[in-house]
Amino acid sequence: MTVQGRYLGVVRDELALASDQARQALAGADPGTAFYRSNMRRLDATADTGALTTQVMTSVPVYLRRGDVVTSISARSGATAAGTPTNWWFALYSNAATPALLGQTADQLTAAWGATTNKTLPLASPVTIQVDGVYWVGIMVKATTVPSLVGASTTASASIVTGEKNLAQTSGSALTTTAPATIASPTAAATVPLVILT
C-alpha cells in the first residue's frame, strides 16, 4: 500500500507533468501530442520590460526534458516596437556550465517587429534534447530602438544560493548576424522576457 494511491512514481514528477499539460492546454496545444515549454507562466508575464540592449544578447533559462524536440522560439514585444532593425534572431543554448550554441533562427535583418506583436521564428534545424536540464534561450536585436518585451521585472534575477541560475542575463557585444558559440561572462539582468519553445 502507498500513500500515493495508484501512482507509484515520484509525486513531484507527476505534478510537473500535470503542470506541463495544463500549460499546453492553455496554449491551445493538445497536451497529449504537442510540445510546449516556457521560462514562466503567461500569467506572470505582466511587465513591459526593457530587457534588450542593441547588439547584446539577453538569455533566459528554460527547463527541457530528454526527447523534447525544439523547432521554434517565440517572444512577444511590449509597447515599444523595433525601430530601424538591422539584425535580430533567437537562439538555443545547451545546459553546459558554459552553454554552447545548439541552434539559431535565421537573422531577420530589417524585418519589422511591431509593438505588442508575437514573433515565432523556426530554428534552422530542429534540436532534439539529449538530457534533462536547464537550457538557455537567447534573443538579440540590433536596432536604433530595440523593442520592449513582455515578461517580468524582478530585483532577484541574479542567483541567491549556490547552484541557482540567473532568471535572465546579458552577454556579448557588437553582435550582428550570428549568435555567439557560447554564453560567456554573463551578467544578471533585472528584467526577464517571456519565451516559449515549440
pLDDT in tens, the chain (198 residues): 455 555 455 544 444 444 555 555 555 555 555 789 999 998 888 899 998 999 999 999 999 999 999 999 999 999 999 999 999 999 999 999 999 999 999 999 999 999 999 999 999 999 999 999 999 999 999 999 999 999 998 777 777 788 889 999 999 999 999 999 999 999 999 899 999 999
What is the rounded CA–CA span in Å between residue 117 and residue 106?
Answer: 18
Helices (H) and strands (E) in the chain, counts: 1, 13
pLDDT, residue 40, reads: 93
pLDDT of residue 159: 76
Q: By three-state DSSP, how is residue 26 classified?
A: helix
Nearest to 142 by CA among 170, 109, 180, 120: 109
pLDDT score of 8: 54
The residue type of 34 is A
User: What does each C-alpha distance from 85 to 30, 59, 92, 114 come to in angstroms?
Assistant: 35, 19, 21, 11
What local confidence, expressed as pLDDT, does residue 20 receive?
A: 55
Residues counted in the chain: 198
Which H or E run contains 140?
Answer: strand 133-145
Output phi, psi for 153, to 5 deg.
Answer: -110, 135
**Could you give the residue range(s) of every CATH 2.60.120 domain in the chain?**
35-197
Q: Which three-class secondary structure state does DSSP give residue 25?
A: helix
**pLDDT value at residue 188:** 93
Q: What per-residue confidence (pLDDT) applies to 12?
A: 47
Residue 130: per-residue pLDDT = 97
Rounded Cα–Cα distance for residues 140 and 162 (Å): 28
Burial class (CB in 10 A: 0-12, 13-18, 19+), 182: middle
CATH architecture of 35-197: Sandwich (2.60)
Rg (CA), the chain: 17
Q: How far does CA 99 lie from the centroid of its chain?
A: 14
